[in-house]
Amino acid sequence: MNECERMRDAMVDVAAARTAWNDHDAAHLALCDDCRESWTVVSAAAQLGRASSIDGARVAAGLRARLVHAPLSAPRKRWTELAIGVAAAALIGLGLTSSHRATSGSGDRIEVPTEQATAMFPELEALSEPQLKVILAGVADADADLDGGAAIPRLGDLNDEQLEELILSVEGE
Partner 1 sequence: MAAIAFELSSDEDLVAAWRRGDELAASELVHRHAPALGRYLVALGAASSDVEDILQDAFFRAFRRVESWRGEGSFRGWLFRIGANVLRDRFRQGKGRTVLSLDGHDVAHHADPAAELVASDIEARLSAALLRLPPMQRAVFLLRAQQGMDYNDAARAAGTTPGAARVHYHHAVRQLKEWIQ
Nearer to partner 1, 73 or 116 (CB): 73
Alpha-carbon dihedral sign for residues 74, 79, 82, 83: negative
Q: Closest separation between CB of residue 78 and partner 1, Å? A: 13
Q: How many CA atoms lie within 13 A of 33 on its CB side?
A: 0
Q: Closest separation between CB of residue 170 and partner 1, Å? A: 14
Q: Closest separation between CB of residue 133 and partner 1, Å? A: 22
CA atoms of 158 and 145, how far apart (whole Å): 13
**Could you tell me if 79 and 165 are in contact, meaning their C-beta atoms sit under 8 angstroms apart?**
no
What is the identity of the amino acid at 2?
Answer: N
Q: Which of 86, 114, 112 is nearest to 98 (CA)?
A: 112
**Residue ranges binding partner 1 (CB under 8 A):** 5, 8-9, 11-13, 15-16, 18, 34, 37-38, 40-42, 44-52, 54-60, 62-64, 66-67, 70, 72, 75, 173
Nearer to partner 1, 15 or 84 (CB): 15
Nearer to partner 1, 24 or 50 (CB): 50
Nearer to partner 1, 52 or 114 (CB): 52
Q: Closest separation between CB of residue 172 and partner 1, Å? A: 11
